[in-house]
């Protein structure tokens, strides 16, 4: 399950780069494409979805103290986290 969440977190990171920021800023890219800024539309709803998705997936990826005792997520929880990602993709179509 941890590996699945790591992949989902990577998908979130890529979607934020490509969909939310429209490719203006990307990891390991030499420059910033300011001409693409006209396509960037950041809204409170997009920020809320991205924050919720990154928070829930990050919590499942990082090594935590056993005192946290978070446990393994259920299929229902994993499906809900995937739904957040799908909703974000719908809200942020490819430009």
- The string of pLDDT tens digits covering residues 8-66 is 999 999 999 999 998 898 888 888 889 989 989 999 999 999 999 999 999 888 776 67
Which of these, 46, 75, 70, 47, lies nearest to 58 by C-alpha position? 70
The pTM (predicted TM-score) of the whole model is: 0.85
**Residue-level pLDDT at 67:** 72
Contact 94, 18 (CB under 8 A): yes
d(CA 52, CA 77): 13
**Residue-level pLDDT at 12:** 97
Domain that holds residue 51: 2-91
pLDDT at position 2 over 70: yes
> Which 8-state DSSP code applies to residue 74?
P
The residue among 86 and 69 whose pLDDT is bigger is 86
Q: Is 76 helix (H, G, I), strand (E, B) or coil?
A: helix
- How many structural domains does the chain have? 1
């Amino acid at each position: 399950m941890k590996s699945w969440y790591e992949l989902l977190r990577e998908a979130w990171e890529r979607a934020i780069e490509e969909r939310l920021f429209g490719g203006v800023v990307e990891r390991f890219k030499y420059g910033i494409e300011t001409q693409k800024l006209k396509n960037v539309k950041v809204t409170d709803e997009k920020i809320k979805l991205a924050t919720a998705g990154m928070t829930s997936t990050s919590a499942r990826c990082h090594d935590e103290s056993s005192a946290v005792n978070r446990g393994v997520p259920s299929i229902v929880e994993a499906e809900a986290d995937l739904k957040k990602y799908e909703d974000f993709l719908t809200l942020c179509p490819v430009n």
